[in-house]
Chains A and B, each alone.
Chain A
Amino acid sequence: MAGFKKKEAREMPEMNTSSLPDLIFTILFFFMIVTTMREVTLKVKFTVPAGTELEKLTKKSTVSFIYVGPPTDALRAQMGSGTRIQLNDRYANPSEVMDFVAQERRGMANQAEQTISIKADQHTQMGYITDIKEVLRKSWALRINYSATRRQ
């Protein structure tokens, strides 16, 4: 019979992998851009409270953080174990929050959106938080956010 030949065992053509590095590089760049290496070294330790009605902090560029808690284990010997407030890289008084807010605001494109996220340890006494809130109010940083983790 004409037309039917036994098929030869054909070799599978090899996939061209020359573009693989480019692909990986693209993913790499994506992650490099998305990554935010934490700029501040934490000098206080805190476990934020857990809540259910949380909102995501969007617009990273307008968020500044205030950390509240006892000094880390390494610093406890010098600083004691009382509650401390950390702004940027150092300990601060509540009164210094105003300068911090102004300074953070200066670098922001959308200053009306400025949000202060308070990352405070759950065992902090409210007095510290209230002091901070008072200063924030005076410096017109009215959007605040109590940082928390999600609880089921």
Chain B
Amino acid sequence: MAKKKKKMPGLNTSSTADISFMLLIFFLVTTSMDTDMGLARRLPQPPEDDQKDVEIDVKERNVFNVRINADGYLALYRNGNYDFIALEDLRAQAKEFIDNPHNLGSLPEKHVKDIELLGPMAVTDNHVISVQTDRGTPYNIYFQVQNELVAAYNELRDELSMARFHKPYAALDEEHRVAIRAVYPQKISEAEPKKYGGN
């Protein structure tokens, strides 16, 4: 007896979509599109072995010394004494220091520099901001201080950018950013910690 030739039934694929939906949802849930964020900093190069710690001679007026003690209090070291300041005031103080708008003798020296796209500008590019901590300083305070200092630079850059290019700094192209950065170069020194003020 000849068998009837049966047609192979097609596989029902209507549920494939559901299965892949399930997989999709699984991956959607487990994905951590980790937009990791943070404060980017650059460490100074390590000292050469044969090189003694050379004290770079920086004029006192060019240094903005922030010290944080083990209890998390901030002090500005100026003219041989400490002025305690609040974290909220740090940004304004730092801005004034970096910019030296009134060309004061106690703040960093200004000299005129010819910058591409901006023309001659009075810049304070010899300034240094130094943050010193104690070993017991809470990390959070240190981080907030760094954050405020970076914010001071960012605000100054934004102000200049708005005044000259009528755009916020973030909206500029690289060429213009370089020009702005040349006026306000970020100079935050990561000094080694010293033990001071007890503990």
Contact = CB atoms under 8 A, between A and B. Distances in A.
Interface of A: 17-18, 20-21, 24-25, 27-28, 31-32, 34-38, 48-49, 51-57, 63, 115, 117-118, 120-127, 129-130, 133-134, 136-138, 140-150
A126 B39 CA distance: 16
A57 B135 contact: no
B40 A130 contact: no
Contact of B45 (A36, A51, A133, A142): A142
Interface of B: 13, 16-17, 20-21, 23-24, 27-28, 30-46, 68, 133-140, 142-144, 146-147, 150-151, 154, 190, 192-193
Contacts of B46: 137-138, 140
A113 B188 CA distance: 21
Contacts of A117: 36, 38
Contact of A55 (B17, B37, B45): B37
Contacts of B24: 24, 27-28, 31
Nearest to B134: A126
A48 to B, nearest CB: 8
A37 B20 contact: no
B39 A145 contact: yes
B133 to A, nearest CB: 4
Contacts of A124: 138-139
Contacts of B44: 137, 142
- Interface residue SS majority, chain A: mixed
A52 B147 CA distance: 7
14 contacts: A20-B17, A21-B13, A24-B24, A28-B27, A52-B147, A53-B151, A57-B38, A120-B139, A130-B192, A145-B38, A145-B39, A145-B40, A147-B37, A147-B38
A126 B192 contact: no
A46 to B, nearest CB: 10
Given A24-B20, A137-B46, A145 B41 contact: yes
A66 to B, nearest CB: 12
Given A55-B39, A129-B139, A146-B39, 9 more contacts: A51-B147, A53-B154, A115-B40, A124-B138, A125-B139, A126-B68, A126-B138, A130-B192, A145-B38
